[in-house]
Homo-oligomer: A and B are copies of this chain.
Amino acid sequence: MSKKVEHVKIGPKMRVSELIDRMGKSGVFSAGRLAEAVGIYQEMIENDATIFMGVGGALVPGGLRQVLVKVISDGLVDVIVTTGANVTHDLIESFGGSHLRGEPMVDDAKLRRQGISRIYDAYVPQKAFELFEDRIQPMLEDVTKVDQCMSSAKLLREIGLRLKDRKSIIGAAAMHEVPVFTPAIADSILGLQAWLYSQDHELIIDGLLDVREMVELAGKAEKPGAVILGGGVPKNFVLQSMLLTPHAFEYAIQITMDRPEPGGLSGATLEEAKSWGKVSPDARLVTVIGDATVIFPLLITGLLGRLRK
């Protein structure tokens, strides 16, 4: 028999984890799905799943850097796939640069003249990118002493080890031995800087090495789980990792604003991934429709609340 929808109760001092528990008793619409996502994540942790996280979207400019660092340092993730942009913005902050709070409806030509690049309502001063160039170029020189033909994951591990910044995603990931893949690294400011470096130095970033390392990780993951924020390459590279292994994701959580009808992978349902063998036929799956800057902190705070009980 179906359970009743128990209406969500709230109070001024309510903890996030309590609110999510109440949403779980309601059980419907996006609130119910958020609570289900917490439950799936909890089960992944308790069953010692290997957790692959896809991080699309501008989550570092969007203020989620510390949430991602906490996920890494608390052992809530084993492998990360993200965009070169998120790595660029993470490194900008490690190098002393900042992101600023701006406005979404502005004269962008005027911002250009003011030396400000806009990411919806987050601003990046041009000098942050200059700082990034000043610091990443010698770092690339140092890293290429180790190797000159690398996967993106190896490059980021080497950069992370040199950062010594526990507030950095890349830094924390290197310290906690969480590989970070950016299979589309060429498609970012970091990629442009690496290309600049490569003009008069030896440096090759070989995408096939990313596949190799990812397939190895997927092959070793006996209970793989996926947590996917946004779409694009981070989503697909996580999901496709199972294609060359005997495994399939047994858990998957997706937070997205995309929708399935236009047919793109970013909006595809997790169920669709079953037909490809990326997700197990009896996997525990949930999609939460919403903005990751709201949903992801709720998910992780709710999860922490349950794990610390």
Interface residues of A (CB under 8 A from B): 2-17, 19, 22-23, 26-32, 34, 56-58, 61-67, 70, 85, 98-102, 104-105, 108-109, 111-112, 116-123, 149, 152, 183-189, 191-192, 194-196, 198-199, 203-208, 210-212, 215, 230-233, 236-237, 240, 243-244, 257-268, 271-277, 281-282, 287, 289-295, 297-298, 300-301, 304-305, 307-308
Copies in the complex: 4
CB proximity of A288 to chain B, nearest CB, Å: 8
| Chain B residues within 8 Å of A15, by CB | 13-16
The CA-CA distance from A195 to B191 in the complex, in Å, is: 21
Given contacts A184-B187, A274-B112, contact A291 B31 (CB under 8 A): yes
The CA-CA distance from A309 to B78 in the complex, in Å, is: 40
CB proximity of A72 to chain B, nearest CB, Å: 13
Of the candidates B120, B212, B274, B293, the one whose C-beta lies within 8 Å of that of A260 is: B120
The CA-CA distance from A231 to B265 in the complex, in Å, is: 11
When C-beta atoms are compared, the residue in chain B nearest to A9 turns out to be B66
Give 21 pairs: A residue, B residue, CB < 8 Å, sorted on A: A4-B100, A5-B63, A6-B63, A7-B67, A8-B64, A10-B16, A13-B15, A14-B15, A19-B298, A31-B294, A32-B101, A104-B260, A109-B282, A112-B275, A117-B276, A186-B211, A187-B237, A195-B208, A258-B258, A262-B293, A298-B298
- Please state if B244 and A293 are interface contacts (CB–CB under 8 Å): no
- Please state if B30 and A293 are interface contacts (CB–CB under 8 Å): yes
Given contacts A104-B260, A208-B191, A233-B233, contact A293 B62 (CB under 8 A): no
| Chain B residues within 8 Å of A258, by CB | 257-258
- Please state if B192 and A5 are interface contacts (CB–CB under 8 Å): no
- Please state if A243 and B2 are interface contacts (CB–CB under 8 Å): no
- Please state if A12 and B187 are interface contacts (CB–CB under 8 Å): no
